Structure 1
Amino acid sequence: MKTAVIYARVSSVTDRQSTERQVNDLKKYAEFAELQITNIFEEKVSGAKRNEERPVLTECLDFCIANKVDILLTSELSRLGRNSFEVLETVKRLIDAKVNLYIQKEQFLLLDNEGKPSTFAPVMIATLSTCAELERENIKFRLNSGRAQYIEHGGKLGRKAGSFKTMEQKKEEYKKVISNLRAGKSIRDVAKLNDVSVSTVQRLKKEFNL
């Protein structure tokens, strides 16, 4: 039985978005395709972040390559990079390591039965990644336009006065996270152990110089 890894990502670092639906849908595909899932990587990080700022994606790709995983499963191509250049770089890493890629949204497989890119793979990947990048820019434009209109009509952006937490408050609230980081645990493990987002752990690690 071929081995598979799932990578799921949502942009919101709060509980407003969850990777649960992505993971469940990809699990169903793996069962249908008779694939053995060896690991699941879940990340909460903005789609505008560079790949080097996505520690779970980096860990996922390294795991797939080091363990010679047969196929990486993800819901959309945009999960693999913030722009077409990063997506293509990620895809090239997978091709070089002979790791197949399944994209659920387009029902697309990167490699054929001989482990080579399918005939239309390069065109498909370039087109999908460019479309995703354009859509992200359109969303950013609409958000900025909405903010400008809100301010024009007297609205104020940012947190309310007094809503910022002091370092002491953070130290108390996230004492277990800080303790785990000081113990040398990975960012991903700390996030799972404390049921917080990876980005929260990253921020605390930076703020407390851990």
Structure 2
Amino acid sequence: MMKAVIYTRVSSTTERQNTERQVADLKAYAEYRKLEIAGVFEEKISGAKKNSERPILVEALEYCEANSIDILLVSELSRLGRNAFEVLEVVKRLVDNKINLFMQKEQFTLLDENKQPSTFAPIMIATLSTCAQLERENIKFRLNSGRAQYIAKGGKLGRRTGSVKTIEQKKEEYKEIIALLKKGYSIRNIASLCKVGNSTVQRIKKEFKI
């Protein structure tokens, strides 16, 4: 049975977004293809971050290489980089290590049965990643334009007064995570046990200097 790894990412580091839907959909695909899921890597980090600043993505790729994983499953190509160059760098790394890639949104698989990229794979990857990059830039432009108009009309950006959580509130909200960190549990295990993203655990660890 071929081994698969799931990598998911959402941009928000708050609890407003989660990776549950991505994981569920990719698990369903793995079950349909009779793939053994060797690992699930979930990341909450801005899509504007460089791949070198995405610790879970880096960990997922290293895990695939170290454990002879056959295929990496992602919800869409844009999960693999903030621009076309970074996406292509990841794709080349996968090809060099004979690791296939499945993109659910695009319904596209990188390698053929002989673990070679299909004839049109490089063109498809370059086109799709460029389109994703342009879409992000258009969204960014519209957001910045909207903010500028809002400020011009007298609006104020930032948190409302009193909306920032105190240290004591955070200690209470994240007491289970803090307790597990102090016991020496790994970030991934804590994230799984507490049903939060790895980035949340990393943030609490850093904030409380555990």
Could you state the TM-score of these two structures normalised by the residue count of structure 2?
0.89
**Paired position in structure 2 for 1:9:** 9
Moved more, 22-31 or 171-180: 171-180
Aligned pair 1:203/2:195, yes or no? no
How far did residue 110 of structure 1 move? Answer: 1.0
**Paired position in structure 2 for 1:89:** 89
Write out aligned runs for 1:159-198 (5 A): 159-198=159-198
How far did residue 21 of structure 1 move? Answer: 2.4
**Paired position in structure 2 for 1:156:** 156
* Distance in 1 of aligned mates of 2:68 and 2:172: 42
Q: Deviations over 1:63-91 (max 9, x none)?
A: 21111111111111100111122212211
* Distance in 2 of aligned mates of 1:196 and 1:7: 15
**Paired position in structure 2 for 1:24:** 24
Cα pair distance change 1:24/1:200, threshold 3 Å: closer
* Distance in 2 of aligned mates of 1:3 and 1:70: 5
**Paired position in structure 2 for 1:108:** 108
Unaligned runs of 5+ in 2: none
Aligned to 1:13, what secondary structure does the other structure show?
Answer: coil
C-alpha RMSD of the superposition? 2.0
* Distance in 1 of aligned mates of 2:65 and 2:102: 16
Could you state the TM-score of these two structures normalised by the residue count of structure 1?
0.89
Q: Does the CA-based 8 Å contact 1:187-1:201 persist in structure 2?
A: yes
Q: How many residues align?
A: 210
Q: Which amino acid aligns with 1:178?
A: I
Q: Deviations over 1:151-186 (max 9, x none)?
A: 122221111222223334433432332333344333
How far did residue 209 of structure 1 move? Answer: 3.1
**Paired position in structure 1 for 2:33:** 33
Unaligned runs of 5+ in 1: none
Q: Does the CA-based 8 Å contact 2:42-2:197 persist in structure 1?
A: no
Q: Does the CA-based 8 Å contact 2:42-2:198 persist in structure 1?
A: no
Q: Does the CA-based 8 Å contact 1:4-1:39 persist in structure 2?
A: yes
Aligned to 1:158, what secondary structure does the other structure show?
Answer: coil
How far did residue 147 of structure 1 move? Answer: 1.1
* Distance in 2 of aligned mates of 1:137 and 1:73: 25
